[in-house]
């Protein structure tokens, strides 16, 4: 069994990450899950949170993502994030902006389902802000 798989993280602005990695922890909307090689094909939505990338035993990287999808297959994982930023570039101002956007989403929501989802996003963002 191969110990690595190909991982790609893209946001509408650019391709942020593309390399072979050992494990990625994805903040799925139903809870975090780790993707390792030979994962069953899965398609999941994401909540705002940290994407934890284990590149090798000694090297890892954390990237903040908000909204989007993770598409896992046995040989690869593609994360399509609406917004993504490496952890070290993340600061309060950017988070504030994100929270503002999330609030607007809640206000704009037309039906209960979308409003609930937007509200969840907002709550997650607040948690991250507190942790920072």
Partner 1 sequence: MPSLKDLRTRIASVKATQKITKAMQMVAAAKLRRAQEAAEQARPYAERMEEVIARLGKLLEGRTGAPALVMGTGRDEKHLLIVTTADRGLCGGFNSSIVKLAREHATALMAQGKQVQFMCLGQKGYDSLKYQFQDQILDTRRLGGSKGENFTLARQVGIQLLEMLDSESFDVCTLFYSEFRSIISQIPTTQQLIPVVLPEADDESIRPRAGQAIYEYEPDEDEILNELLPRNIRVQILRAMLENGASEQGARMSAMDSATRNAGEMIDKLTLQYNRARQAIITKELIEIISGAEAV
Overall size of the chain counted in residues: 132
Q: How far is the CB of 130 from partner 1 (least distance, A)?
A: 25
Tell me: does residue 25 bind partner 1 (CB under 8 A). Answer: no
CB contact at 8 A, 99 and 125: yes
Residues binding partner 1: what is the number (CB under 8 A)? 25
Name residues whose C-beta falls within 8 Å of residue 128's C-beta, 6 or more positions apart in sequence: 48, 49, 50, 64, 95
105 binds partner 1 (CB under 8 A): no
Task: Name the minimum Å distance from CB 33 to partner 1.
Answer: 8
Output phi, psi for 120, to 5 deg: -60, -45
Give whichever of 8 and 57 is closer to partner 1, judged by the CB atom.
8
Strands 5-10 and 76-86: parallel
In this chain, which of 15, 57, 107, 131 binds partner 1, going by CB under 8 A?
15
Q: Does 10 bind partner 1 (CB under 8 A)?
A: yes
Among 4, 60, 78, 101, binds partner 1 (CB under 8 A): 78
For the stretch 48-74, what's the b/e string if a residue is b when 16 or more beta carbons lie within 10 angstroms of its beta carbon?
bbbbbbbbeeeeebebbbbbbbbebbe
The residue ranges that bind partner 1 (CB under 8 A) are 8, 10-15, 28-30, 33, 40-45, 69, 71, 73-76, 78, 80
């Amino acid at each position: 069994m191969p110990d690595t798989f190909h991982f790609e993280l893209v946001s509408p602005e650019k391709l942020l990450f593309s390399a072979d990695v050992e494990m990625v922890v994805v903040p799925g909307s139903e809870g975090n899950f780790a993707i390792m090689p030979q994962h069953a094909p899965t398609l999941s939505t994401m909540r705002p949170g940290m994407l934890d990338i284990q590149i090798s035993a000694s090297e890892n990287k954390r990237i903040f993502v908000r909204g989007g999808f993770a598409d896992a297959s046995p040989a690869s994982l593609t994360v399509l994030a609406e917004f993504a930023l490496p952890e070290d570039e993340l600061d309060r101002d950017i988070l504030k902006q994100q929270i503002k956007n999330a609030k607007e989403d809640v206000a704009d929501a037309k039906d209960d389902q979308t409003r609930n989802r937007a509200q969840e996003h907002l709550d997650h963002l607040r948690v991250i802000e507190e942790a920072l």
